[in-house]
Structure 1
Amino acid sequence: MSLLEFTSAVFGWVYFLCWSLSFYPQSMLNYSRKSTSGTTVDFPLINCLGFLSYMISNYAFYYSPLIRAQYASRYHGLTPTVQFNDITFAAHGLLLSIICTSQYLFPRLWSFTPSKGNKPSRFILGIFFGCVVGVILVIFIVLSSPERNNPSGGGHAWVWLDAVYAISYVKLIVTLIKYTPQVLVNYKNKSTRGWSILQILLDFTGGVLSIGQQGIDSWLQGDWSGITGNPVKFALGNVSMMYDAIFITQHYVLYRGADGKGVEREGLLEREGDDERRIA
């Protein structure tokens, strides 16, 4: 294994750890505060759809001989740049998103105080069902194509690779809009109270390493089709980092010193403080 191959593997697993760990701070903060106030269910709810589609598409790119053959036919004999850690990350993200969503939709189950953010917005519901309908339509188009199972069907005919792309694009669409409701909530409240900045910092780090890994893999293959052939993975890192920059600016610059400053740290350490007071 060369130095670049080793670096790619390290980047892959470190970004997997950063992005995976980024799912925990918000759920932990909600649990410590016994409330989801200051945040909205839109983010974790649409994340469920995003990571489900991401898991399915990554699984197909990594394990399906037909999809890999059609990909190779379309991209000069190359293989998809999807790694096993991508599949693991997607499955883990789906599970944690479901858990976090349950804190909003079923607050009594968690002994939470109900808040205004427990109901999904029409905007997010529209995106949710619109994506589902779009994927179903593409699948029907592929089913009507006589070339759908052709391993070398990488030309103009509709093949199963196109259906996998349609599913993967759902994740891209979700990433483009999932942070917007929370950005607006923070702006309306002029505070980041209840919104975990730890998850944002971890997400930003993961985005940098994800793009770095894909760039190294494409360099090793000697062809940048590794990026153009898997635009979702490349776009995910860039879009996430753009939103992360907005949240970091809101937390540390725009609303610095607002009533939300330090709430996360206090909430996560609340139990420890209670224990110390009881001992004293």
Structure 2
Amino acid sequence: MASWNSIPLEISYEVVGWIAFTSWSISFYPQLILNFRRKSVVGLNFDFVLLNLTKHSSYMIYNVCLYFSPIIQNTMIPVAANDVAFSIHAVVLTALTLFQIFIYERGPQKVSRFATGLVVLVWGFAAICFFIALPSHSWLWLITIFKFAMTCVKYIPQSHLCPLPLMVQPIIWNYDHSLRLYPTPHTVYS
């Protein structure tokens, strides 16, 4: 990561980031513990767990790719170590909750068709974008797709469609921009 202009600011950034990591990470444990003690997931919203796994998986892909990207070395990486740690932790604990759904008493509950359809749509969209990015090596654009997928999973089930134009614009801009920033030997500009 690029150097900070202020040591106190850098320390504050790190401390606040790890406090946020701890606070958000703790929030996953009560449900896991409750499910384990009861050996039941009755009352747990399965849609929430599936959508949360999708959201945190896409967030993890975004964070890990940006944090470990050799292209972005020596620049101010917009992802901190605590972001990477949280997203990995969130995926693991959400996956454990999903595992509990399969092994514990769940009653007549099931995942809704809407949630299943949304997850298939989001991951299908990301897969198509992967194959679009592959020939031109537009990896910056592709990881932006994962961030977009996370935002869709977060807002669409809540019917907050107002930010949709604001969510799509950076994807379009970053695709063209990433081609110019990181051209491949085969890229031709007119």
TM more than 0.5: yes
Task: Tell me whether 1:176 sits opposite 2:151 in the alignment.
Answer: no
Amino acid across the alignment from 2:14: A
Give how far 1:31 is off: 2.2
- Check 1:7–1:141 CA distance in 2 against 1; reply closer, same or farther (3 A cut): same
Determine the C-alpha separation between the residues in 2 that align with 1:92 and 1:177. 24
Alignment of 1:141-180 (within 5 A): 141-145=132-136, 148=137, 159-177=138-156
Corresponding residue number in structure 1 for 2:174: none
Corresponding residue number in structure 1 for 2:100: 103
Give how far 1:104 is off: 1.4
* CA deviation map 1:157-177 (0-9, x unaligned): xx2110010012222222225
Corresponding residue number in structure 2 for 1:41: 46
Corresponding residue number in structure 2 for 1:3: 8
Is there any run of 5+ residues in structure 2 with no aligned partner, and where? 1-5, 159-169, 171-190
Corresponding residue number in structure 1 for 2:182: none
Alignment of 1:1-280 (within 5 A): 2-66=7-71, 68=72, 79-107=76-104, 113-117=105-109, 119-145=110-136, 148=137, 159-177=138-156
Determine the C-alpha separation between the residues in 2 that align with 1:53 and 1:29. 27
Is there any run of 5+ residues in structure 1 with no aligned partner, and where? 73-77, 108-112, 149-158, 181-228, 230-280
TM-score of the superposed pair, with normalisation by structure 1: 0.51
* CA deviation map 1:111-168 (0-9, x unaligned): xx33233x111111011110111111212222243xx3xxxxxxxxxx2110010012
TM-score of the superposed pair, with normalisation by structure 2: 0.72
Amino acid across the alignment from 1:48: L
Give how far 1:4 is off: 2.2
Determine the C-alpha separation between the residues in 2 that align with 1:168 and 1:114. 32
Root-mean-square deviation (CA), in Å? 2.1
Determine the C-alpha separation between the residues in 2 that align with 1:114 and 1:167. 31
Amino acid across the alignment from 2:119: F
Determine the C-alpha separation between the residues in 2 that align with 1:106 and 1:176. 29
Determine the C-alpha separation between the residues in 1 that align with 2:18 and 2:96. 23
Determine the C-alpha separation between the residues in 1 that align with 2:53 and 2:9. 34
Larger Rg: 1
Q: How many residues align?
A: 154
Determine the C-alpha separation between the residues in 2 that align with 1:87 and 1:96. 14
Aligned residue for 1:114, secondary structure, equals coil
Structure with the bigger RCO (C-alpha within 8 Å, sep 6+) is 1
